């Protein structure tokens, strides 16, 4: 039996394990999103959904169609949809947000401390229905009397989908979306409306929503001077040259020393050599080298 | 701050440990074996050592059956466990178990945290060394497992000072060795260095114990650089000493990275993001196994 490392601990037969590892590697190669061995059950579950939808006779056949067929790009996209679906909520990735609050913002403020005034620009790229930018706004409002005292900030939130943006601007959410939001923050930054939760005006005022297609080069060129860009589970929808171009736009739009956050287990490996991989406790991110810091 | 301790005082205290009744009977014969090259160690003599203590035999069986060690078939005898684990791994496990026995009666640190960190560091270092095609991943495993042995000796010989250092490190997000230096003038590296000398541990093990927190790695063997980097990865992954430093780490800019690159050009091709994501399943499994070993 081949050595599958920890994958064998998931209790699948060797054939299933081999297929899942093949699919896992293909997804990583194409989309840069990785499923660790302990998440193979999740991957199998998502494959099962697509097997039903495509009426593939077995996991082996499905795997074969993904790896070998010319139409794989479309099917991989469908599978990626299944993998990333339902991940949007307030305070989605706690280690990432802890690092944002405790490391990234203080570091940026420190870097800019020699400027006459400190203004931070944060971009939630692919903001969907608004949970991420509002989370960031709440976190930063909480810092208004500490590290951000006397400093200003703005959050730009863009998405391709008009309907998502309309919902985001409305700022009304159900229980499920706010499940990770600590009660004191919920009471402070949301009000109850007919059993749902609406983000307060103070939070809404900090976020500017607009529609943006990452492939629109002329508009991407105008998103300059960002300090942090968050682009979670969006790059997976781009491939090859287009993906490289979009990443390069993000790189150019960041200030030196700026931070680039991807989604959980998402990587730029093989798509960009300019960003530096950095580790935070329980999370990774990328950073534009700092050498030109403070010169703008 | 506790009064500074001199190396001579520390050496005397460690020598006196032989007279402590909690030192397991197998320690001396085990140390004698560690001095021999692996090919000269008799399997039967290791089986005999493991069989001395029921709890030790049970631990070895549990570890031999863990997916962490890639077993396809169940192991049910001590002899099978010894063969499955391999001589170097088993020696490390036995030595760690002896060290942990020493800790009984000291209340400075949760023993499971140390086991989790040591085992995780051993496994991560081994995996890392395979990726960069190091010539002896098994020995790398042993050095990773024992790198913090000085911390145990510190807890036994100067429990109060080490407890203070751990509390300070946690409260101020300070590296443990820095907190130790402030608390008693020595660090677990120096504690461990004396143990390695007194007990004549293999040269690579002693070197890693002494220098894994060094500021420069060019003058040390690659074992030191590997364990240093993997120690950081474990801590960033939440398997430290019960606390995570709120820090940003760029491992490619760590002095250990270029030192390692000199002899291991494959490091240039390593996808560190993916390697980090892969560790998640190792950490989950390490925690699960340590919980079983200690019935948490």
**A33 to chain B: closest CA residue:** B274
What is the spatial distance between Cα A251 and Cα A267, in angstroms, rounded to a whole number? 15
- Of A98, A107, A276, Cβ closest to residue B252: A276
Name residues 221-240 of chain B within 8 A of A (Cβ).
Answer: 232-233, 235-238
Whether the pLDDT of residue B105 is over 80: the answer is: no
Which pLDDT belongs to residue A2? 43
Q: What is the DSSP letter of B38?
A: G
DSSP H helices in chain A:
14-31, 40-54, 59-68, 72-84, 94-99, 105-111, 131-142, 162-170, 183-189, 201-204, 217-220, 240-253
Distance to chain B for A253, nearest Cα, Å: 21
B56-88 CB burial, b ≥16 within 10 A, e <16? bbebbbebbbbbbbebeeebeebebbbbbbebb
* ipTM entry: 0.92
Closest CB to A281 among B68, B246, B274: B246
Lowest-pLDDT choice from A107-111, B160-164, B272-276: B160-164
Q: Give CA–CA dist B114/A260, Å, rounded.
A: 34
Q: How buried is B229 (Cβ within 10 angstroms: 0-12 exposed, 13-18 middle, 19+ buried)? A: buried
Which part of chain A has CATH 1.10.155? Answer: 5-84
CB within 8 Å of chain A, chain B residues 242-281: 244-253, 271-274, 276-281
Nearest CA in chain B to A267: B273
Strands A172-173 and A226-231: unpaired
Q: Does the A5-84 domain belong in CATH 1.10.155?
A: yes
Q: How far apart are CA B235 and CA A207, in angstroms?
A: 35
CA dist A42 and B101 (Å) reads 40
pLDDT (tens digit per residue) in A162-196: 999 999 999 999 999 999 999 999 999 999 999 99
CB contact under 8 A, A267 and B277: yes
Q: Among the listed ranges A74-78, A154-158, A214-218, A248-252, which one has the minimum average pLDDT value?
A: A74-78
Kindly report the nearest CA distance between residue A114 and chain B, in angstroms: 22
SS3 B188: helix
Residues of chain A whose C-beta is under 8 A from some C-beta in B? 1, 3, 5-6, 8-9, 28, 34, 36-39, 98-99, 102-104, 107, 265, 267-270, 276-282, 284, 287
pLDDT band at A295 (very low <50, low <70, confident <90, very high): very low
Nearest to B152 by CA among B119, B118, B188: B188
Does A98 sit within 8 Å of B252, measured CB to CB?
no
Instruction: Select from 3.90.1150.10, 3.40.50.300, 1.20.1440.120, 3.40.50.150 the CATH code of A94-287.
Output: 3.40.50.150
Neighbours of A154 (CB within 10 A): 15
- Number of CB atoms found within 10 A of residue A115's CB: 10
> What value does the mean pLDDT take over residues A195-210?
97
pLDDT at B138 over 50: yes
Contact predicate B3/B158, CB 8 Å: no
| Whether pLDDT at A3 is above 90 | no
What is the rounded CA–CA span in Å between residue B167 and residue B179? Answer: 9
Tell me which DSSP letter residue A33 carries.
B
Q: Please state, as a whole number, how many other Cβ atoms lie within 10 Å of the Cβ of residue A80.
A: 18
What does pLDDT average to over chain A? 92
Beta pairing partners, A262: A231
Bridging pattern class, strands A254-262 and A119-125: unpaired
**CB–CB contact A37 B277 (8 Å):** no
Domains in chain B, please, with CATH? 12-21+107-294 (1.10.3210.10)
Mean model confidence pLDDT for chain B: 86
C-alpha count within 13 angstroms, C-beta hemisphere, residue A165: 17
pLDDT of residue A190: 97
Q: Check pLDDT > 50 for residue B70.
A: yes
Identify the band that residue B184 occupies on the pLDDT scale cut at 50, 70 and 90: confident
Distance separating alpha carbons of residues A230 and A233, to the nearest angstrom: 10
On the CB side of A148, CA atoms within 13 Å amount to 20
Q: Half-sphere exposure of residue B89, counting CA atoms within 13 Å on the CB side?
A: 20
Looking only at the bridges linking them, the beta strands covering A254-262 and A152-159 are unpaired
CB atoms within 10 A of CB B1: 10
| Residue B80 clears pLDDT 50, i.e. is over it | yes
In chain A, CATH 3.40.50.150 covers 94-287
The whole-angstrom separation of Cα B245 and Cα B174 is: 7
């Amino acid at each position: 039996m081949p050595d599958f490392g920890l994958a064998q601990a998931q209790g699948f037969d060797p054939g299933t394990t081999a297929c899942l590892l093949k699919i896992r590697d293909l997804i990583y190669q194409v989309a840069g999103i990785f499923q660790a061995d302990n998440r193979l059950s999740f991957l199998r579950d998502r494959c099962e959904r697509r097997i039903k939808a495509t009426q593939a006779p077995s996991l082996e056949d499905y795997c074969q169609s993904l790896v070998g067929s010319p139409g794989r790009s479309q099917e991989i996209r469908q599978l990626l949809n299944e993998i990333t679906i339902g991940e949007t909520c307030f305070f989605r990735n706690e280690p990432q947000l802890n690092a944002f609050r405790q490391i990234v913002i203080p570091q940026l403020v420190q870097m800019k401390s020699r400027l006459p005034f400190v203004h931070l620009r944060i971009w939630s790229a692919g903001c969907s229905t608004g949970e991420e930018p509002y989370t960031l706004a709440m976190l930063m409002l909480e810092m208004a009397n500490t590290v951000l005292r006397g400093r200003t900030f703005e959050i730009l939130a863009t998405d391709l989908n008009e309907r998502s943006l309309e919902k985001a601007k409305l700022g009304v959410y159900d229980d499920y979306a706010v499940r990770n939001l600590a009660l004191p923050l919920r009471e402070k930054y949301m009000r109850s409306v007919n059993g749902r939760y609406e983000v307060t005006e103070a939070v809404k005022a900090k976020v500017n929503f607009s529609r943006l297609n990452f492939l629109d080069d002329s508009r991407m060129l105008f998103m300059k001077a960002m300090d942090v860009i968050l682009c979670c589970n969006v790059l997976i929808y781009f491939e090859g040259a287009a993906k490289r171009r979009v990443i390069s736009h993000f790189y150019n739009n960041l200030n030196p020393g700026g931070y680039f956050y991807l989604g959980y287990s998402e990587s730029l490996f093989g798509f960009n050599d300019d960003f530096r991989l950095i580790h935070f406790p329980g999370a990774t991110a990328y950073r534009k080298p700092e050498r030109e810091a403070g010169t703008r | 701050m506790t009064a500074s301790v001199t190396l001579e005082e520390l050496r005397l205290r460690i020598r006196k440990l032989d007279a402590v009744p909690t030192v397991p009977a197998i320690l001396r014969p085990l140390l004698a074996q560690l001095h021999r090259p692996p090919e000269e160690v008799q399997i039967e003599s290791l089986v005999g050592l493991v069989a001395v203590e029921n709890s030790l035999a049970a631990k070895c069986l549990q570890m031999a059956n863990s997916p962490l060690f890639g077993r396809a078939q169940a192991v049910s005898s001590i002899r099978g466990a010894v063969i499955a684990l391999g001589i170097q791994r088993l020696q490390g496990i036995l030595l760690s178990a002896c060290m942990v026995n020493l800790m009984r009666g000291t209340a400075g640190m949760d023993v499971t945290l140390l086991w989790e960190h040591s085992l995780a560091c051993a496994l991560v270092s081994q995996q890392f060394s395979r990726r960069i095609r190091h010539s002896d991943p098994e020995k790398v495993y042993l050095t990773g497992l024992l790198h913090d042995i000085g911390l145990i000796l510190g807890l036994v010989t100067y429990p109060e000072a080490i407890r203070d250092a751990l509390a300070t490190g946690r409260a101020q997000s300070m590296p443990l060795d820095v907190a130790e230096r402030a608390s008693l003038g020595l660090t677990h590296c120096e504690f461990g260095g004396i143990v390695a000398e007194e007990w004549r541990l293999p040269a690579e093990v002693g070197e890693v114990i002494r220098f894994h927190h060094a500021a420069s790695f060019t003058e040390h063997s690659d074992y030191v650089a590997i364990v240093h980097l993997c120690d950081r990865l474990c801590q960033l992954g939440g398997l430290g000493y019960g606390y995570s430093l709120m820090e940003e780490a760029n491992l490619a800019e760590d002095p250990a990275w270029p030192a390692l690159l000199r002899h291991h050009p494959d490091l240039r091709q390593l996808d560190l993001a993916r390697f980090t994501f892969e560790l998640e399943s190792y950490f989950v499994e390490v925690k699960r196994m340590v919980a079983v070993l200690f019935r948490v």
